[in-house]
Amino acid sequence: SQQGEEDPQALSIQEGENATMNCSYKTSINNLQWYRQNSGRGLVHLILIRSNEREKHSGRLRVTLDTSKKSSSLLITASRAADTASYFCAPSGYSTLTFGKGTMLLVSP
Amino acid sequence: NAGVTQTPKFRVLKTGQSMTLLCAQDMNHEYMYWYRQDPGMGLRLIHYSVGEGTTAKGEVPDGYNVSRLKKQNFLLGLESAAPSQTSVYFCASSYSRRTGEGYNEQFFGPGTRLTVL
Average pLDDT for A98-107? 93
Q: Which of B48, B35, B21 is nearest to B89 (CA)?
A: B35
- Considering only the beta carbons, identify the residue of B43, B105, B111 that sits closest to A45: B105
pLDDT at A1: 53
Taking only Cα atoms into account, the Rg of chain A, rounded to an integer number of angstroms, comes to: 13
Query: Residue A38 CB: number of other CB atoms within 10 A?
Result: 13
pLDDT in tens, A7-44: 999 999 999 999 999 999 998 899 999 999 999 899 99
Residue B40 with chain A: CB contacts under 8 Å: 101
Cβ contact B102–A42 (<8 Å): no
Residue B4 with chain A: CB contacts under 8 Å: 42
Cβ contact B59–A98 (<8 Å): yes
The chain A residue lying nearest B110, using CA atoms, is A42
pLDDT band, very low/low/confident/very high, at B26 (cuts 50, 70, 90): very high
**Distance (Å, rounded) from C-alpha A87 to C-alpha A82?**
13
- Considering only the beta carbons, identify the residue of B101, B103, B105 that sits closest to A96: B103
A58 touches chain B (CB under 8 A): no
Average pLDDT for A76-98? 92
Sheet with A61-66: strands ordered across: A5-7, A19-24, A71-76, A61-66, A55-58
Cβ contact B43–A96 (<8 Å): no
Q: Which of the residue ranges A63-72, B43-52, B91-100 would you say has the lowest mean pLDDT?
A: B91-100
Eight-state DSSP code of residue A83: G
